[in-house]
Amino acid sequence: RNDFPEDPEFAEVVRRAEVASERGIFPERISQGSSGSYFVKDPQGKIIGVFKPKNEEPYGHLNPKWTKWLQKLCCPCCFGRDCLVLNQGYLSEAGASLVDQKLELNIVPRTKVVYLASETFNYSAIDRVKSRGKRLALEKVPKVGQRFNRIGLPPKVGSFQLFVEGYKDADYWLRRFEAEPLPENTNRQLLLQFERLVVLDYIIRNTDRGNDNWLIKYDCPLDSAGMRVSD
């Protein structure tokens, strides 16, 4: 399923993620946010991507963060935004990356729809029981177990975004820039990148942009002694 002939580099990253899971190095759930999202690692334990399963989205039936379930149950009148199709966020993530590539904005890490399975994902009790039963059958009665199409947990479909290093939430940097103003040239570069983000959000009709869900990477300038100015 995870075949990307047009992007062999991305395909290799996904392959490394699959190998890591086979070796017991599972994705790690991200504590922030209102849905189930995971830092995906390579066989060396290095974070290489962020995976967001479809059925663990804010209104997905397997969302491990119960606040959205509680909102749906107790406050249905405030449930979501009417302009959004529920449980299609993973397609929006991949679509935003595609639009970014076509327009050559270069502000969205490459994102595609992939299938991954992991012990750390949020599965239903039935899926986990089935998986354990098949493994037990394979161990006890190999001839029967070998007839199963799949032994482990079922793969989940979702968006896989390449991990970018050295970035922090925009909220962190914007607060810092208020106290430590940027050089004029750097400030213009930041403004240009932000304008690209505005254009992208307008085209894809993104209604959920906040300072906690876009990133900035800033390398502080060095002084004559080779020390960072902020130090």
Residue 104 structural domain: 8-165
- Residue 21 inside a domain? The answer is yes
Instruction: Please identify, among 114, 130, 165, the residue that sits at the C-terminal boundary of a domain.
Output: 165
pLDDT value, residue 208? 81
pLDDT value, residue 26? 96
Residues 217 and 117 both lie in one domain: no
pLDDT digits 0-9 by tens, 165-190: 999 999 999 999 999 999 999 999 99
Report CA-CA distances (Å) from 136 to 130, 144, 149, 152, 154: 10, 10, 15, 11, 16
Distance between CA 3 and CA 187 in Å, rounded?
A: 40
How many Cα atoms within 13 Å fall on the side-chain side of residue 231? 10
**What is the share, in percent, of the chain residues with pLDDT greater than 70?**
83
Residue 36 structure tokens: 């189930």
Report CA-CA distances (Å) from 29 to 90, 105, 165, 189: 16, 29, 18, 34
**What is the share, in percent, of the chain residues with pLDDT greater than 90?**
60
Q: Looking at the 3D structure of the chain, how many domains does it have?
A: 2
pLDDT value, residue 80? 55
pLDDT value, residue 225? 46
Residues 76 and 174 both lie in one domain: no
* Mean of pLDDT values over 210-219: 89
Residues 34 and 87 both lie in one domain: yes
* Mean of pLDDT values over 16-39: 92
Distance between CA 203 and CA 212 in Å, rounded?
A: 20
Residues 84 and 155 both lie in one domain: yes
- Residue 1 inside a domain? The answer is no
Residues 56 and 89 both lie in one domain: yes
pLDDT value, residue 164? 94
pLDDT value, residue 58? 84
Residues 134 and 73 both lie in one domain: yes
pLDDT band at 207 (very low <50, low <70, confident <90, very high): confident
Residues 183 and 134 both lie in one domain: no
pLDDT band at 226 (very low <50, low <70, confident <90, very high): very low
Residues 195 and 160 both lie in one domain: no
- Residue 85 inside a domain? The answer is yes
Rg from Cα positions in the chain: 21
Residues 149 and 172 both lie in one domain: no
pTM of the model: 0.84
Residues 106 and 21 both lie in one domain: yes
pLDDT digits 0-9 by tens, 41-98: 999 999 999 999 999 998 788 988 877 667 666 766 665 555 556 678 899 999 999 9
pLDDT digits 0-9 by tens, 127-136: 999 888 877 7
Q: What is the mean pLDDT of the chain?
A: 86
pLDDT band at 161 (very low <50, low <70, confident <90, very high): very high
* Mean of pLDDT values over 129-152: 73
Residues 219 and 197 both lie in one domain: yes
- Residue 2 inside a domain? The answer is no
pLDDT value, residue 231? 40
* Mean of pLDDT values over 100-109: 95
Residues 28 and 79 both lie in one domain: yes
